[in-house]
Amino acid sequence: MELFETRMVYGDALADLGQMRPDIVVLDADLYKSTRTVVFAQKFPDRFFDMGIAEQDMLSTAAGLAASGFIPYANSFALFITARCYDQIRIQIAYPALPVRICGSSAGLTQGPDGASHQSLEDISLMRGLPNMTVIVPADDVETRQATMALADWPGPAYLRLGRYPTPRLFGADYRFQVGKNTTLRDGKDIVIFATGHMTAKALQAADLLAREHVDARVVNVSTIKPLDRVGVLQAVTGVGHVFTVEEHNIIGGLGSAVAEVLAEESAVPLTRLGVRDQFGESGLADELLEKHGLQPQGIYSSIMSTLRAPRK
Amino acid sequence: MMTEIQRLELKAAEMRLHIVRMMGPNKAHHFGGSLSAADLVTAIYFHAMRYDPKDPAWPKRDRFIMSKGHSVPAQYAALAMLGVFPIEELTTLKRLGTRLQGHPAMHYTPGVEGCTGSLGQGLSYANGMAIAGRLHKLDYHVYCLIGDGEMHEGQVWEAMMTTPRYCLTNVTAIVDQNGLKAMDATSCGKQLEPLAKRWQAFGWLTREVDGHNMEQVCRALDWAKRQSKAPSAIIAHTVKGKGVSFLENQAPFHNAPITPEQYDTAIAELEAHLAELRKQFQAIKEVA
């Protein structure tokens, strides 16, 4: 099976977008080889801005460009482009709803050996808490390319979370990404697993393991965390016995919280959130870290089985 | 015939009256920084900027970014005096439902070009607008007013490295150096001096002026617009609360209310100054 890193696909898509759209500008904070904006930079040097190692300056500069008719894609690692410059994003981008694309690369535990300082497990939470902000986490290469393109025309600011973890293709050529639309990738009647980013592929593999135990799992990819597809969430949980969320993020503030908010207000179906349980990351290989946090297919499967087997309180 | 400088001095005196009137008594307002910036904002809007008040979105307009966002009443006064919105609207400042928010908000106020208020962010934003101007092949100029206390924020220094890096000679930074921040002297907490030398070391051309001497301010702004080799910074020495005796050089009036009696005194002083200027200029006119 061929595997793709979403950041690599993003870099190519961005360069293609630059070809089509003269209003696209790209800013990077000294990580252009990692974030893959290097592809755009080589093709369109006049519209690429290396802002040095200064994320706060970069985001405010992007805001000034956005206010002047450009669609800036600003890039760094997911943590540095959200946490480091949160105030700039809040006041200068989210508040006036300027169309800056905040592109966070190497997100999550799968950043790997660099450890907690570089492993963003709070970025979705930070961005989701801002009014006007859209939050998108593509699951594979097909969705990444389409989301990158779609954001060129999306009104208002958006956060695009990208990874460096090789992940399989989930979508066919006929897939059409839409902001705010979930996609059911596997149908099932017993439980629903809502997953996002790299975890969608893992959830699908976990669903195969569950099938052997006669647990029929529906797997729904939630690539837009905000605005959450409320209708899609409620339709997906109709008739099932339990809902699970799986994310490469703190279970506080991310996909699990977003789904919990909808279910708490509009549904009685029980929910269990799988993800990083309010901890920092640490150095290690991507696969080792996912395993440690129960986010490999086997771990997801085990968590789901033990939840389903536990006596109801 | 009244000179350009005299015309501007009258404008600045009117602006100070508008600032104190829109703030009024009994409510906490940023008197100090708004009044210290009044001459600078007057010179920028009424002398330096290419601006059509009938079309605040004109693509070729010069831009002004109030990075020290708490001083936005000075900008509101300028925009109202230009006719971008009615003078009567000034008294809605900070009231529920107003277009005149406590800090600059581009999506609320016609003529306001960005959102500031959290300090340190305006120069980066101005750089973004300047880059956009270059990409669009528009020759507009971007003016950014920064407080000296604001220069404690690290992002200002990041932005100061960006402007020369991209040779954005269409940016002019103006530092309103009133020497006071919210609690006490700007020199408390951080050392800023030698300020002009630091701007120079970062790759900027600098001029130092008395920020209340209209002729010096205008000459510096004319000089700034001519620069083509490096971006320009004007360090303007000012007095916080300038124009109202009991507000001058008082950090406690950074953001504080004044009593109705103090309000009456302030208005009387500012009106007397305006009348004095009118009389002087009238006398000159008659002699001529």
* CB contact at 8 A, A108 and A92: no
The tens digit of pLDDT for each residue in A13-29 reads 999 999 999 999 999 99
Q: What is the CATH number of the domain that holds A10?
A: 3.40.50.970
Segments forming the whole domain that contains residue A137 = 3-168
Q: Do β-strands A134-136 and A224-226 pair in parallel, antiparallel, or remain unpaired?
A: antiparallel
B159 touches chain A (CB under 8 A): yes
Single-letter amino acid, residue B175: V
Contacts of A48 in chain B (CB under 8 A): none
Q: Out of B105, B136, B162, name the one closest to residue A61 (CB).
A: B162
Instruction: Look at B115 and A92 and tell me if their CB atoms are within 8 Å.
Output: yes
- Contact: A64, B126; criterion CB under 8 Å: yes
- What is the percentage of chain A residues whose pLDDT exceeds 70? 99
> For residues B218 and A67, what is the distance between their CA atoms, to the nearest angstrom?
28
pLDDT tens-digit readout, A134-174? 999 999 999 999 999 999 999 999 999 999 999 999 999 99
Q: Chain centroid to CA B195: how far?
A: 19
Q: Is residue A312 part of a domain?
A: no
For B30-48, write each residue's pLDDT tens digit.
Answer: 999 999 999 999 999 999 9
Least confident range of A40-44, B73-77, B183-187: B183-187
Residue type at A223?
A: S
A203 and A164 in a common domain: no
Sign of CA dihedral A298, A304, A307, A309: negative
- Token pair of A13 as six digits: 């898509």
Domain count, chain B: 1
**C-alpha distances out from residue A258 to A105, A251, B77, Å:** 22, 10, 44
Query: If phi over 0 gives left and psi between -120 and 50 gives alpha, with beta otherwise, what is residue A256?
Result: alpha
Give the CA dihedral A94, B138, B228, A62, nearest 10 degrees: 20
Asked if A60 contacts B159 with a C-beta cutoff of 8 angstroms, the reply is: yes
Last residue of a domain, one of A143, A168, A193: A168
Of A56, A59, A65, the CB nearest to B131: A65
Helices (H), chain A: 6-20, 32-35, 38-43, 55-66, 86-88, 123-128, 141-150, 198-212, 230-237, 255-266, 286-292, 297-309
Task: Tell whether A296 is covered by a domain.
Answer: yes
B165/A64 Cβ within 8 A = no
Average pLDDT score, chain B: 96
Task: Let me know if residue A118 belongs to a domain.
Answer: yes
Pairing type for strands A217-221 and A271-276 reads: unpaired
What was the pLDDT predicted at A311? Answer: 79
Question: Vertex B113, ends B112 and B118: CA angle to 5°?
Answer: 90
DSSP classification of residue A311? P
Contact A195, A236 (CB under 8 A): no
Nearest Cα to Cα of residue A151 among A264, A52, A14, A300: A14
Q: Please name which of A169, A181, A31, A178 lies closest in space to residue A107, comparing C-alpha atoms.
A: A31
Is pLDDT above 70 for B288? no
Pairwise CB contact (< 8 Å): A95 & B126: no
Assess if residue A311 is contained within a domain.
no
Q: What is the pLDDT of residue B285?
A: 72
One domain for residues A164 and A261: no
pLDDT at B174 over 80: yes
**How many alpha carbons lie under 13 Å from residue B129 in its C-beta half-sphere?**
27
**Is A227 within 8 Å of A279 (Cβ atoms)?**
no
Question: Which candidate from B121, B130, B162 shows the least CB-CB separation from A92?
Answer: B121
End residue of a domain, out of A138, A168, A198 = A168
Phi, psi for A144 (deg, rounded to 5): -60, -45
Bond preceding residue A96 cis, omega within 30 of 0: no
**How close, in Å, is residue A96 to chain B by CA atoms?**
6
Kindly list the residues of chain A whose beta carbon comes within 8 Å of any beta carbon in chain B: 25, 46-47, 49, 51-52, 54, 56-70, 72, 87-88, 90-92, 95-97
Preferred mutation among A44, A50, A57, A132 to probe B, highest tally of B CBs within 10 A? A57
B60 touches chain A (CB under 8 A): no
Please check whether residue A245 lies inside any domain of the structure. yes
Name the active-site residue from A55, A122, A143, A248.
A55
In this structure, are A158 and A187 located in the same domain?
no
Whether B1 shows a pLDDT value over 70: the answer reads no
Give the whole-angstrom CA distance, residue A309 versus residue A197: 28
- HEC string for A176-216: CCCCCCCEEEECCCCEEEEECCHHHHHHHHHHHHHHHCCCC
For residues A136 and A10, membership in a common domain is answered with yes
CATH number at residue B47: 3.40.50.970
Q: What is d(CA B48, CA B62) in angstroms, rounded to the nearest whole number?
A: 9
Contact A140, A201 (CB under 8 A): yes
Q: What is the pTM of this model?
A: 0.97
Tokens of B221: 């702004």
Residue of B nearest to A93 (CA): B115
Residue B286, pLDDT score? 73
SS3 state at A52: coil
Tokens of B102: 């406590």
**A255 lies in the same domain as A287:** yes
Q: Are residues A156 and A296 in the same domain?
A: no
What's the Cα-to-Cα distance from A24 to each of A14, A216, B59, rounded to whole Å?
Answer: 9, 45, 18
In chain B, which among 103-142 make CB contacts under 8 A with chain A?
105-107, 113-118, 120-122, 124-133, 135-136
Name the domain count of chain A: 2
Chain A hits for B62, CB-CB cut-off 8 Å, are none
Residue A195 has pLDDT above 70, yes or no: yes
* pLDDT grade for A83, boundaries at 50, 70 and 90: very high
Cβ atoms of A31 and A114 within 8 Å: the answer is no
Q: Based on the fold, state whether residues A160 and A38 are members of the same structural domain.
A: yes
Note whether A157 and A203 are same-domain residues: no
Residue B152: how many CB atoms within 10 A of its CB?
Answer: 17
Distance (Å, rounded) from C-alpha A38 to C-alpha A182? Answer: 31
Q: Determine the angle formed by the axes of helices B122-135 and B154-165, rounding to 10 degrees.
A: 20
**Taking CA atoms, what residue in A is nearest to B160?**
A57
Q: Please tell me what DSSP assigns to residue B179.
A: S
Q: For residue range B82-107, what is the model confidence (pLDDT) as tens digits?
A: 999 999 999 999 999 999 999 999 99
Q: What CA–CA distance (Å, rounded) separates B113 from A96?
A: 10
Distance from CA of A304 to the nearest CA of B (A): 45
Contact between B117 and A88 using a beta-carbon 8 Å cutoff: no
Could you say which of B106, B126, B154 has the minimum Cβ distance to residue A96? B106
Compute the average pLDDT of residues A43-48.
Answer: 98
Residue of B nearest to A85 (CA): B155
Average pLDDT for chain A: 97
Domain of B245, in residue numbers: 4-287
Q: Are residues A188 and A263 in the same domain?
A: yes
Asked if residue A11 is part of any domain, the answer here is: yes
> What are B215-246's pLDDT values in tens digits?
999 999 999 999 999 999 999 999 999 999 99
Residue A55 designated active-site: yes
Question: What pLDDT, in 10s, does the model give residues B134-156?
Answer: 999 999 999 999 999 999 999 99
Distance CA B107, CA A96 (A): 6
Say yes or no for a CB contact (<8 Å) between A68 and B133. yes
Average pLDDT over residues B17-21: 98
Nearest by CB to A88, from B121, B131, B166: name it.
B121
For the cut 70, the answer to whether the pLDDT of residue A313 exceeds it is no
Cis check for the bond before A227: say yes or no (omega within 30 of 0).
yes
Inter-chain CB proximity A64 and B115 less than 8 Å: no
Residue A120: how many CA atoms within 13 Å on its side-chain side?
Answer: 24
Q: Are residues A206 and A297 in the same domain?
A: yes
- What six digits make up the tokens of B18? 């508008």
Nearest residue on chain B to A63, alpha-carbon basis: B125
Residues A46 and A11 in one domain: yes
A113 and A206 part of one domain: no
A175 is a domain residue: no
Interchain CB distance below 8 Å, B128 and A63: yes
CB pairs under 8 A between A and B: 108
Give me the interface pTM, i.e. the ipTM.
Answer: 0.96
